[in-house]
């Protein structure tokens, strides 16, 4: 039996509950935003660590809400493919999953207060909005994940917003520089979401969801993914050759170029959910590698500019 359909026990079920392959969407923006901030001054390590933990907790909690509400709406059963399954396969009670998500939110909020006290209390407002979106992604009367805008919300809030917050708490101001660098990261995070929707399109359609993938079909969705991945690289290549903030260091991200090609090819060849799981995994790996390489490039650019 596939590991994606196997019940987990002990600590493994909590590990799988957090859906670790999606957590890349939490830590990559923090690293990129911090690296961009290094160009404008020194970095406070405490704010980096606290922001990183808070974002990981919010992303993990969002995954738990997803698990809870999908189960409540009858979307998950023992045949569902994925690395969640805490309720339908691992025997966790729905209430326990929901309460754990709330606990993660509370801890993240406490960490947010520390960040606000050391930067600006306006961060609290933005943080509350981000947490609300995380909850409403699968909760509420009209979940965002049931609309064609799931990828947009995921990319915008986990990419652009988190990068800008991370940059702001380190520098005390906003700037177009991190906003520009957030474009490929926002795209790559959105594609993790689209990968999930491509895999689950048949069951999602039967449940009444109207995701982008369902509206346009699998092939056009994959074409969209390929085009957006191309744009991710094109943006960085363009910046690399501009006079202001341009550097050949940015071309380091090209090392990761084989991964989106591999993901797109696997999506084209596979059809059933179990066949598409490897492709989903690659989208998370790509976001991680691309993000790390971009953060490293930005950091070295900042050091050499001093």
What DSSP assignment string belongs to 153-205?
HHHIIIIIIHHHHHHHHHHSS--HHHHHHHHHHHHHHHHHHHHHHHHTHHHHH
C-alpha distances (whole Å) from 205 to each of 197, 200, 218 are 10, 8, 12
Q: What is the SS3 assignment for 123?
A: helix
d(CA 208, CA 252): 42
* Domain encompassing residue 141: 3-305
Q: What is the pLDDT of residues 67-126, one digit of tens each?
A: 888 878 766 655 555 545 666 655 678 888 899 999 999 999 999 999 999 999 999 999
- For residue 12, the model assigns a pLDDT of 66
- For residue 5, the model assigns a pLDDT of 47
Q: Answer yes or no: is pLDDT of 255 > 60.
A: yes
More confident call, 4 vs 49: 49
- For residue 245, the model assigns a pLDDT of 82
Q: What is the mean pLDDT of residues 174-202?
A: 95
Q: What is the mean pLDDT of residues 48-60?
A: 95
Q: Answer yes or no: is pLDDT of 210 > 90.
A: yes
- The whole-chain average pLDDT of the chain stands at 89
Q: Answer yes or no: is pLDDT of 14 > 60.
A: yes
Q: Are 181 and 52 in contact (CB under 8 A)?
A: no
- For residue 250, the model assigns a pLDDT of 96
> CB under 8 Å, gap of 24 or more: what pairs does 7-12 form?
7/85, 7/89, 7/90, 7/91, 8/85, 8/86, 8/89, 8/90, 9/90
- For residue 261, the model assigns a pLDDT of 97
Residue with tokens 């396969």: 89
Give the total number of structural domains in the chain.
1
CATH number, residue 293 = 1.10.600
Q: Are 84 and 16 in contact (CB under 8 A)?
A: yes
Let me know the angle formed at the C-alpha of 114 by 298 and 109, rounded to the nearest 5 degrees: 100
């Amino acid at each position: 039996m596939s590991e994606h359909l196997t019940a987990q026990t002990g600590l493994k079920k909590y590990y799988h509950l957090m859906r670790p392959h999606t957590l890349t969407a939490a830590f990559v923006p923090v690293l990129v935003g911090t690296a961009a901030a290094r160009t404008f001054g020194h970095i406070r390590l405490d704010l980096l660590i606290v922001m990183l933990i808070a974002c990981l907790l919010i992303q993990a909690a969002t995954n738990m809400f997803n698990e809870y509400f999908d189960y409540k709406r009858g979307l998950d059963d023992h045949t569902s493919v994925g690395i969640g399954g805490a309720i339908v396969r691992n025997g966790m009670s729905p209430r326990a999953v929901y309460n754990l998500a709330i606990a993660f939110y509370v801890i993240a909020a406490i960490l947010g207060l520390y960040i606000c006290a050391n930067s600006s209390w306006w961060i609290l407002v933005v943080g509350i909005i981000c947490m609300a979106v995380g909850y409403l992604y699968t909760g509420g009367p009209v979940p965002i994940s049931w609309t064609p805008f799931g990828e947009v919300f995921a990319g915008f809030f986990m990419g652009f917003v988190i990068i800008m917050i991370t940059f702001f708490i380190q520098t005390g101001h906003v700037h177009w520089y991190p906003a520009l660098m957030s474009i490929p990261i926002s795209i790559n995070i959105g594609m993790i979401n689209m990968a999930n929707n491509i895999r689950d399109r048949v069951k999602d359609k039967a449940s009444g969801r109207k995701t982008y993938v369902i509206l346009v079909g699998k092939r056009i969705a994959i074409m969209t993914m390929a085009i957006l991945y191309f744009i991710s690289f094109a943006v960085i290549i363009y910046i690399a050759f501009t006079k202001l903030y341009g550097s050949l260091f940015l071309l380091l991200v090209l090392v990761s170029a084989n991964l989106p090609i591999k993901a797109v090819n696997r999506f084209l060849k596979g059809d059933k959910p179990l066949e598409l799981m490897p492709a989903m995994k690659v989208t998370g790996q790509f976001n991680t590698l691309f993000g790390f390489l971009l953060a490293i490039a930005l950091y070295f650019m900042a050091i050499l500019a001093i």
